[in-house]
């Protein structure tokens, strides 16, 4: 029997759980150190995400300044109700995720599972609305490089008659939509990854994990989830709310 098996058995038969819980990894001195390290690691990862999205925000800022009328028209063509609904769904999902972390901290299994399911449903709802919006853009020939046509921007719309653009500026709406798809696409990719990871955590929680003192994975996933929410909190006004007043 090698040393690892012996160590694992000793861990399982430890009396008090804080003495040597099974989830404490051997290179850490204490559960506290492990938890703090994991959270710090997740924050550092989120820093990389800030800089990753940062490049897109930088591009957005530049082109919005250069092609403001095109950005206005492009923004008007998005469904305000869809954006508002999505923002609402994500904010509520951040609430449910925070509650899930709380359930893990207070060791209530049923609550943990319930809040995690709620978060998954809300996140999936977001993705459904997004899919609908994207389908709409496709139908209206707003997808850059694939089927883009500036035709729709040469005349104003019912709600925004002033959105009549010259051909030159109408073609610049492709830049707006490039950024729209790049930013919401990258965000959606992070949402998909998030929902998938959360599903895995849910299955593990169903099996009894994360309610016996091992909070870090739920807590740190929560950090990731909130971060993705924050990205959307900025995407919403930047993409949907450009000069919305009539």
Partner 1 sequence: MPGPSEPTHHEEHIVSPKLYLVIGATLLIFTGITVGASLIDLPGDLNAVVALAIACIKMTLVVLFFMHVKYSSQLTKLTVAAGFFTFIVLITMTMTDYISRAWGRW
Partner 2 sequence: MSTILTLPDQATARLPKVSYLNKEYGLKSWLLTGDHKRIAMLYFISITFFFFIGGAMAGLIRLELLTPPSDLLAADTYNKVFTAHGIIMVFLFLVPSVPATIGNFLIPIMVGAKDLAFPKINLLSWYLYVAAGTMMISVLAFGGVDTGWTFTTPLSTHYLNTHVISAGIAVFIAGFSSIFTGLNFIVTIHRMRAPGMTWFRLPLFVWSHYAASILMVLGTPVLAITLVLVILERTIGIGVFDPTKGGDPLLFQHLFWFYSHPAVYIMILPGMGVISEVISTFSRKRVFGYTAVAFSSVAIAVFGFFVWAHHMFIMGISNYSALVFSLLTMLVAVPSAIKIFNWSATLYKGSITFETPMLYAFGFIGLFTIGGLTGVFLGSMGMDIHLTETYFIVAHFHFVMVGGMLMAYLSGVHFWWPKITGRMYPEGVSKLAAVITFVGFVLTFFPQFILGYLGMPRRYAAYPPEFQVLNVFSSAGASVLGVGYLLPLLYLTWSLKYGKIAGANPWQATGLEWQIQSPPLTENFVDTPIVTHEAYDYEWLESKKGSEVPTVG
Q: Which residues bind partner 2 (CB under 8 A)?
A: 26-29, 33, 36-37, 40-41, 44-45, 47-56, 58-59, 62-63, 66-67, 144-146, 171-172, 174-175, 178-179, 181-182, 186
Residue whose token pair is 């709620």: 118
Which residues, 6 or more positions from 231, have their beta carbon under 8 angstroms from its beta carbon?
49, 53, 187, 190
The three-class DSSP label of residue 145 is: coil
- 164-168's contacts with Cβ under 8 Å and 24+ in sequence apart are 165/69, 165/70, 165/73
User: How many other C-beta atoms can be found within 10 angstroms of the C-beta atom of residue 189?
Assistant: 11
Complex with partner 1: residue 117 or 154, whichever CB lies closer: 117
Binding flags for partner 1, 84-113, as an x/- string (CB under 8 A): x--xx--xx-xx-xxx--x--xx-------
Q: Which stretch binds partner 1 (CB under 8 A): 55-63, 168-176, 189-197, 201-209?
A: 55-63
Residue 19 or residue 32: which is nearer to partner 2 going by CB?
A: 32
Determine the interface stretch with partner 1 among 13-21, 25-33, 167-175, 191-199 (rule: CB under 8 A).
25-33
Tokens found for residue 117: 């399911």
Task: Work out the number of other CB atoms within 10 angstroms of the CB of residue 151.
Answer: 11
The first and second tokens of residue 22, run together, are 């099974």
**Sign of the alpha-carbon torsion through 19, 24, 30, 31:** negative
User: Which residues form the interface with partner 1 (CB under 8 A)?
Assistant: 29-30, 32-33, 35-36, 39-40, 43-44, 46-47, 50-51, 54-55, 57-58, 61-62, 65, 80, 84, 87-88, 91-92, 94-95, 97-99, 102, 105-106, 219, 222-223, 226-227, 229-230, 233-234, 236-238, 241-246
């Amino acid at each position: 029997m090698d040393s690892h098996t012996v160590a694992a058995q000793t861990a399982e038969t430890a009396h008090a759980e804080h003495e040597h819980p099974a989830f404490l990894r051997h290179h850490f001195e204490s559960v506290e150190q492990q938890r703090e390290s994991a959270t710090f690691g997740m924050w550092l990862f989120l820093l990389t995400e800030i800089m990753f999205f940062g490049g897109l925000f930088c591009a957005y800022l530049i082109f919005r300044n250069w092609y403001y009328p095109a950005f206005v028209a492009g923004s008007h063509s998005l469904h305000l109700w869809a954006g508002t609904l999505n923002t609402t769904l994500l904010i509520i999902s951040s609430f449910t995720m925070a509650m899930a972390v709380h359930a893990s901290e207070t060791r209530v299994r049923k609550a943990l599972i319930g809040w995690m399911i709620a978060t998954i449903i809300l996140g999936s709802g977001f993705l459904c609305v997004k899919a609908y919006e994207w389908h709409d853009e496709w139908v209206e020939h707003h997808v850059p490089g694939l089927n883009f046509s500036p035709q729709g921007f040469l005349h104003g719309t019912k709600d925004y008659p002033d959105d009549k653009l010259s051909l030159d500026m109408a073609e610049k709406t492709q830049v707006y939509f490039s950024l729209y798809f790049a930013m919401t696409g990258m965000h959606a990719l992070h949402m998909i990854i998030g929902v998938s990871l959360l599903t895995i955590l849910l299955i593990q929680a169903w099996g009894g994990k994360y309610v016996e003192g091992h909070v870090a994975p739920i807590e740190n996933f929560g950090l990731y989830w909130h971060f993705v929410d924050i990205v959307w909190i900025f995407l919403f006004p930047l993409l949907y709310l450009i000069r919305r007043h009539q």
